[in-house]
A and B are shown apart, each in its own frame.
Chain A
Amino acid sequence: MKINRRAFALVALVAAIAASLVSATAGGAARHAGVSGSLTVWVDSVRLPAAKLYAKTHPNVKLHIVTFDGDGNGATTLQAKIQLWNRTGNGWPDVIFSEQVNDPVWMASKPFDYAANLEGGVFPEKIINQIPKPSIAQCTVNGHLVCVQDNLAPEVLYYNKKLMTQFGYQVPTTWQQWAQIGDDVAKNHPGYIIGTVGDSYGHWLYLWADQCPLSTLKSANTVLINASDPHCTRMASLLDPLIANKSVSDVTVFSPDFAKQYGGDADKVLMMPGPAWYALAVFRDTLKLPAGEWTATTPLRWGTEPVVTGQVGGGPWIISKHTKNMAAAVDFVQWNVAGAKLNTKVANYSAIAPGLPSYTPAATAWLNWLGKDPFFASPPGAAIGKAANQIWQGWGLVTYPDQPVWSNSVVTQLVAGKSLSSLLPALGQGLSQAAQAAGYKVVSK
C-alpha cells in the first residue's frame, strides 16, 4: 500500500518507456483483438504505468485512466465517490484499483454495492485457480469472489547479510532469537536497528504476525477484538525493551528522518520484518541502501509454534457491477494480473510489477527476476514466495480501516515515550469503537 511513495519516479519513467514499448505492442494487440469499446479505470499512481501500457497495447479499447490517491491509509476517497455515483445513478468507473486490501468488503456490501461478482465464469477460472488460497479468501465477501489482488504482500524477515556476518549473528528464525540480537545490537552496535514499529501498519507486521485477535471475524457482522489476548501481550512485552533500547525504531520507513538516520550510506538497518514489496520499493528505492548486502528469510515464528505471518497491502482490482463493457473490464484486470507481469523482459518491468504478483506463474517469473537484481546479496525469492501461503487467516478484512487507530492511539504515544504494552488497551478500545461505528457487533471471546 505504501508503494505509491515511488509514484513520482515511476510517473517520470512513463514517458521514456512509452516510446520504447512500441515494438512490443504488435503481438499484444493481435491477441486481444476481441475486446473493444470504451473503458474507464481508476488507478493509483503506482498502477499507472501498467494501465498506460494496456492502452498502448490495446488500441481497440478506448481507455480512460483516472489516477487518484488509491484510497490508502484509511482514506475515504472511494467511499465518497461511489456514494455520489450511486446517488446520481451514473459515472461509475468500470474498474478500480485500491491500495486498501479491505475495500472490496464494503464495496460488495450495502449501501455501496459496487463490486461485481466474478464467479460463474465472469473472470477466467484458470487464472483464479492459480492464485494462492489466502488471497482468494481475502477477495471473497459474503461467499462471493468480488476482486482479484494485484499483488500479494506477505511479511518476511529481511536482513543485511553483510552486517550480520560482520557482527557475527546467526539469521534468526524465531521472534525470541530476533529479540536477543536486538538486545545485543543495543549494547554492542548502538545505532543499528532490527525493525520499526512506527509505520501506520506496524500492528500488521507484529500483531497480525503473532495471531493477535484484533480483527477476527466470527460472522459477517461480528468481529472479535481482544487486545489483552496473550498473543498480543506477549508480542508487546517482547517489543517494549527493544523499543526502549532503540534497536527497534518508532519512526516510519517513509519519513525523511528514517532515511537520513538509517538509510543510504549510513546503512544502519540490520534486519527488518516487512512485506514482499519492501524488497525494492523500500530498501533499494526509498532508503537507497547499498547494493549487494540484502536478502530475505522465512517469516519469524513464536518459539516452536508453526510459522504464520502478517500482511501489508495486497491491493485488489474491483470490477463494477454497473459496467457496460464487462468483456473489456475483465480483459483489463486479467492483463494486469496475469498478462503483463509474466514478461520480465519489458523495459520498465519493476513499474509494471511493483510487488509479488498474485498469479502464481507471474509470481515465479517475478521472484526469479528479483533474485537477479544486483541489489540483493542472494535471491530473496524463495522466502517471499513461500510466505504468500503463510499469512495468518484469523485476521479478517472488515469495512473500516484499522491503520488510523493504530497510528493515532499507539504510534503518537510511542514517540511520546509510552510502552506498547500500556497502549494495547487503548488500541483495543479504539478498534472496538471503530468497529461498532461501522455497524459491527464486537465480542472479546
Chain B
Amino acid sequence: MRGLRVPRGLPFVLPYLPFLIVFGIAPTIYALDLAFTNATGGWAWFHNFVRTFDDYRFVPAFKHILLYTSVWLAMLVVIVVGLALLLHGRANRVSSTFRFIFYMPGALAGAASVLVWLFMLDPVVSPGRFLLQHVLGATLFAQSIAPGNLPFIFAMIAFWTGAGGWIVVMYGALNTIPHDLEEAARIDGASPIQIALRLKLPLIRKWIAYMVILSFATGTQLFVEPQLVNEASLGLVPDTWSPNQLAYQLAFRYADFNGAAAIAVDLLFIGLVGAFLIVTRTGLFRTDD
C-alpha cells in the first residue's frame, strides 16, 4: 500500500517541485558553495565561519535572536493554542466573529505592519500611549525602542501579524477531532478544561509542532522588522541587530558574499537542528497513531 502512495501523490507535489529546486535547493547549494570558498573561488574550509564568528556583531546578533525567538515562540504556543481552545468551546457564531477579529492584524502583512507599529510605539502619536508610558516607561520613541525592549517589541509585532492565521489553522485542527471522542469524555464526567487539556491538546500536538518548526525558522531569520525600525529610527537600532541583517550588511556593504553565505549556512543549520528535534520529539511524521 505505501509503495503505491508515492506515485499517486506525485501530481500534487509536481507543480511545487520546480520552484523548490530553483528558489529553495539551488540557492542553498549556492550558499554552501560560497560559504566554503573564498572571494577568488578557492576552497576555504571553515575560514568564513571562523571569521564571521569573530566579527564583533555576530554574538550580539545571535543573542538578540535567541531571546526574540524564545519570547515569540512561547507567546505563539501559549496564546494561539489557548485562544483556539477557547474559541472551539464557544458557539459557532461567537467563535467565527472572534476568529475574524484575531485574523485581522495578520492582514497587515510584514512591512506594512511594522509601519503601523512605528506609530504605535511613538508615545507622542500612539493610541497606546498609556501603556508605553506605564509599562515601558517611555515618553519618547527613542525610549520605546531602547535596546533592552527590542526583542519583546519585535516578538509582539511578529505575534500579531502571525497569530490570527495560526488561530484559524489550530481551529481547523480542532475540528478534525471526532465529535464522539468529546462526547465520550463528557459522558465520563470530564470538565471543559479537562477536555481541552487532556483530549484536544494531545490530538493537535502535531499541528503545534508544525507551527513551531515554521515559526522557529522564520524567527531566526528575522529581517524586515529590525531593518525597518533601523531606518525609521535613523539608526537608533543597529543595522546588524539580527544575524540575517548582518549577512545582508556583509554582502552588500562590504561585498563579502562568502561571509554572508557562512552566516546563512549557520542559520540553515540552526533551523535544521531545531526542526529535527521537534520532529523526533513530537512524532510529527509518524503515521501509525
Contacts and interface: CB of A to CB of B under 8 A. Distances in A.
Contact of A80 (B122, B125, B143, B252): B252
Interface string B141-157: 11101110000000000
Contacts of B123: 257
Interface in B226-240: 230-231, 233-239
B236 A412 contact: yes
B254 A438 contact: yes
Nearest to A251: B140
B142 A412 contact: yes
Contacts of B57: 437
Interface in A292-345: none
A7 to B, nearest CB: 14
A121 B235 CA distance: 39
Nearest to A401: B235
Contacts of B254: 437-439
A76 B253 contact: yes
A83 B255 contact: yes
Contact of B124 (A198, A255, A408, A438): A255
A250 B252 CA distance: 32
Interface in A104-118: 111-112
Interface string B188-222: 00000000000000000000000000000000000
A68 interface: no
A75 B231 contact: yes
A416 B137 CA distance: 10
Given A256-B124, A256-B125, A438-B254, A415 B143 contact: yes
B56 A411 contact: no
Interface string A398-411: 00100110111001
Contacts of A250: 142
Contacts of B124: 255-257, 260
B20 to A, nearest CB: 25
How many residues of B sit at the interface, in one of the four size bands?
Answer: 20 to 34
Contacts of A198: 142
Nearest to A432: B56
A76 B235 contact: no
A437 B56 contact: yes
B55 interface: yes
B146 A74 contact: no
A260 B122 CA distance: 13
B111 to A, nearest CB: 14
Contacts of A67: none
Contacts, number: 83
A151 interface: no
Interface centre among B57, B123, B147, B233 (most CB of A within 10 A): B233
Contacts of A439: 254
Contacts of B253: 76, 79, 400, 438
Interface string A411-440: 110011000000000000000010001110
B194 to A, nearest CB: 48
Contacts of A112: 255
Given A80-B252, A83-B255, A433-B56, A416 B235 contact: no
Interface string B232-267: 011111110000000011011111000000000000
A252 interface: yes
A407 B236 contact: yes
A167 interface: no
A79 B143 CA distance: 30
B252 A83 contact: yes
A416 B143 contact: yes
Nearest to B236: A407
A274 B250 CA distance: 33
Nearest to A403: B235
Contacts of B230: 404
A152 B5 CA distance: 72
A200 interface: yes
Contacts of A75: 231
B234 A200 contact: yes
20 contacts: A73-B231, A79-B252, A80-B252, A200-B234, A200-B236, A251-B140, A255-B124, A256-B125, A260-B124, A404-B235, A404-B239, A406-B235, A407-B234, A408-B235, A408-B237, A412-B145, A415-B146, A437-B55, A437-B57, A439-B254
Given A256-B122, A403-B234, A437-B254, 7 more contacts: A73-B231, A76-B248, A76-B253, A251-B140, A408-B147, A408-B237, A411-B142
Interface of B: 55-57, 122-125, 140-143, 145-147, 230-231, 233-239, 248-249, 251-255
